[in-house]
A and B are shown apart, each in its own frame.
Chain A
Amino acid sequence: MSQKIKTYDAIVVGSGASGGWVAKVLCEKGAQVLMLEAGPPRIPTRDFTEHVWPYRVRFRGFGDTKTFLEKQPVQRLCDACDEYSSHFFVDDTENPYTSDPDEPFMWIRGRQVGGKTFCWGRVSYRYSDYEFQPAARDGYGENWPVAYRDIEPYYDLVESYIGVSGSREGLPQFPDGKFLPPMRLSCGEVYARDIIGKQFGWRLMPDRSANLTVPLNGRPACHYCEQCQRGCFTASYFNSPSVTLPDAARTGRFTLVSDAVVSHLAMADSGKASGVVFIDRSTRAEREARGRVVVLAASALESTRILLNSRSRRFPDGVGASSGTLGRYLMDHFTVESASGIIPSLKSPRREPIGRPMGFMIPKYVNADARFSDKRFLRGYYLAGDSRQDLYTYAYGMRGFGHELRRKIREEIPYMFTIYAQGEPLPRYENYVALDPQLKDAWGVPTLRFHASYGENEHIMAKAMSDRLGEIVDSLKLENRSPIPQRLSIFGKNIHEAGTARMGDDPKKSVVNRFNQVHDAPNVFVTDAACFVTQGCYEPTLTIMALSARAADYIASDYLRNPA
């Protein structure tokens, strides 16, 4: 006997930054939405660990290395994954993947209601046409089918709602937004701002961050405990479970099913999706959900994995694969990190208040400002970092014992300055993911195999980045400098994976159109960073949210009204 399955207006797969915005916009526009999330719900009174002191936890904040090695050998490499917050990251033994032996990929994942928005860095930058239309300047690759003017209203919408603190700078290559007041620079950053401004002509500014500096929409301002990655009881930084998803829920048109691991799209003979097939994370039972529209917002690589795994006679290589670009053009930023040292003039016996959840940044100038052209490579990079008093690690190098040692540690506090550079990777066809032919995850879903490495352009740019970091620490006259790394970060390390289902007007060259709609299956949308054509050198999340809100607007206003 068959049981009638409810058909929703839309199924949204994934509950993070992208899914949260899609659900909010669709529900508020009247759609019945089912959200499927692969992980469990997080309960603040149980799972949040902010304000917990290190002497309250078993390993004093250093973590249980044995368990990390056994259960999270990849996730532990992320600096936000520690003794307080490891539960916001996946168990690698349940979620394996493979890569070329000589080209490791670092895949950091958070599966829970809210996804990675629990532990994201909150850095929120707009892309400009230097990012959306780069091929128009240098001739490499493809432009996005949208320009800054198309996305600008959605940047406004998202920033105004989630709250982004930042300073207005008026730089054409780094658009200002609807900002809340900026946070303050530290003393070390003020020192560096003045020198870097004079010597390099570059502007150092407080980072643009999705932390509230004033109350907004019922959410209190940040209280500056600097423990965002442990959860936030005041909901003072953006995460979807406390900002966008409650709005969806309050419409009465939102159904959230957690612990639902989506395996593949269910495709009808028409070539459209009838819904999705998912596996109950606890019981391993296979279930089906039906919707008029399916929105994949599961993170760039998880969404592409679902498309690749949606194979049928009509779609033998997966849904969206007809162009041959599905899985291709995988990108992640590369960094040269970190140049650091001590600012001698700021050594002090007095502790300063700390707790800002962000540091400073210097936007992209190279190849974005005619005064800073560098013909050795295409595209450019930006710089960011932090400057503050060291807590106590300087004590490792101090000789002596007892109260005299403790007095020195207390009274000779060094002031650290740390800076790194993050560069734009070129989208390259040869960087791709495919389904691993053998390996499956704990729920029987085929895993991904990565083929990703950086090319000549990235290596040349990294050398320039490294040289520039050296010039900056020289100009600041830092002491006790760390050696400046010469090599690039591991692919995936920056957790800004993008591409693999790129956007374009031409179905022969792209997977989704300018409204994130899969060319091959018009009721399937991909709204996360899988759709990115290029990545710029800036963090992707604000752009993901703006694109998601825009796609949801299109789905509600156009597609659901006239699906033909």
Chain B
Amino acid sequence: MTHDEITRRAWILRLSGATVLTGVSGDLDAAGKPPLPPGLYEPSLDHLAHSLKTVTAPVSDPPPPHYFASEDFSLIQALIGLILGEEPTAPPVPEIAVWIDLIVGRSQGVRAAARSLTPAYRRLAADFYGEDTVRELESEDPQAICRNGLIALQQGGFWNLDTTARVAHLGELENAEDPFITWFKRRVLDGFYTSRQGLQELDYKGNSFWVESPGCAHEHS
């Protein structure tokens, strides 16, 4: 199946969305009423079409990396593939790689912005999240983490290993709480479970159209 095809789930969403609105009185149709001033609105099929467009529209090809050099970017894709058990070119690996490239590329700016918070805003953030979280935002350097992590893998001959041995080595690094693998695996999980494939794999049943309130249908004792 290509990205351009409408998935069965998307069709269900579309149909059930239409069902939701079919059950509505004619008030949904604003025809015959004077137009409302900008900013006021009524329930509208136009809004539904807008929403469903995002469900059914094809995912465009991932853009090229902005931060990682192409050689490193290939390694990033290969690592994502290993963590997920997929080929480096299999969806959604490339889109996760592009997102990681984006957040690593912007991390220097994030750090600078965090360090530039006024004392009042910093105090507010520290009271809200805790001092440790604010310090982490001010100091965490994903560029260095990734750079050092990739160098270490390279120097350790990681890429000369076969797939089984690579996964075993990643396990050793994880058990040793290696900063790169710890940081990177979490981003891969975030990237995967926010992808279409990952959400389908979870059988995620949210962002949907239900006729009645989801809730407990069981008896518990």
On A, residues with C-beta under 8 Å from B are: 15, 37, 40-45, 48, 50-56, 58-62, 64-66, 69-70, 73-74, 77, 92, 98-99, 101, 104, 106, 112-114, 183-187, 189-191, 194, 213, 215, 217-227, 233-236, 241-242, 245-246, 249-250, 252, 254, 256, 258, 350-356, 391-392, 395-396, 399-406, 409-410, 490, 493
Q: Which 4 A-B pairs have the closest CB atoms?
A: A184-B215, A218-B27, A41-B39, A233-B47
Q: Using A215-B24, A223-B20 as known contacts, list a sample of 6 further A-B pairs with CB atoms less than 8 Å apart, ordered by residue number in A.
A: A51-B55, A59-B103, A74-B121, A186-B215, A235-B41, A410-B203
Which chain B residue shows the least CB distance to A56?
A: B54
Taking a contact as CB atoms under 8 Å apart, the answer to whether A223 and B92 are in contact is no
CA distance A489 to B12 in the complex (A): 42
Complex interface: chain A residues within 8 A of B44 (CB): 44, 233
CB contacts under 8 Å to A, within B204-220, are 204-216, 218, 220
Contact (A69, B102) CB under 8 Å given A55-B59, A60-B191: no
Q: Among the listed stretches B68-76, B106-114, B144-152, B153-161, which one makes contact with chain A, having 4 or more residues with CB under 8 Å of it?
A: B106-114
Does B175 interact with chain A (Cβ within 8 Å)?
A: yes
Complex interface: chain A residues within 8 A of B2 (CB): none
Complex interface: chain B residues within 8 A of A233 (CB): 43-44, 47-48, 50-51
CA distance A77 to B127 in the complex (A): 11
The one of B46, B128, B190, B207 in contact with A53, judged by C-beta atoms closer than 8 angstroms, is: B207
Does B195 interact with chain A (Cβ within 8 Å)?
A: yes
Contact (A351, B202) CB under 8 Å given A112-B39, A219-B43: yes
Contact (A50, B51) CB under 8 Å given A55-B95, A60-B194: yes
For chain B, the bracket of interface size reads: 35 or more
Complex interface: chain A residues within 8 A of B41 (CB): 43-44, 235, 241-242, 246
CA distance A112 to B84 in the complex (A): 43
Describe B's contact surface by its main secondary structure: helix
CA distance A256 to B38 in the complex (A): 9
Interchain nearest-CB distance for B219 vs A (Å): 9
On B, residues with C-beta under 8 Å from A are: 17, 20-21, 23-25, 27-28, 33-34, 36-44, 46-48, 50-52, 54-55, 57, 59, 82-85, 92, 95, 99, 102-103, 106, 109-110, 113-114, 116-121, 123-125, 127-128, 137, 167, 170-171, 174-175, 185-186, 189-191, 193-196, 198-199, 201-216, 218, 220-221
Taking a contact as CB atoms under 8 Å apart, the answer to whether B220 and A406 are in contact is no
Complex interface: chain B residues within 8 A of A60 (CB): 99, 190-191, 194
Complex interface: chain B residues within 8 A of A37 (CB): 39
Taking a contact as CB atoms under 8 Å apart, the answer to whether A183 and B128 are in contact is no
Taking a contact as CB atoms under 8 Å apart, the answer to whether A101 and B205 are in contact is no
Taking a contact as CB atoms under 8 Å apart, the answer to whether A355 and B206 are in contact is yes
CA distance A27 to B191 in the complex (A): 51
CA distance A392 to B109 in the complex (A): 28
Complex interface: chain A residues within 8 A of B47 (CB): 44-45, 48, 233-234
Taking a contact as CB atoms under 8 Å apart, the answer to whether A490 and B128 are in contact is yes
Complex interface: chain A residues within 8 A of B137 (CB): 65, 69
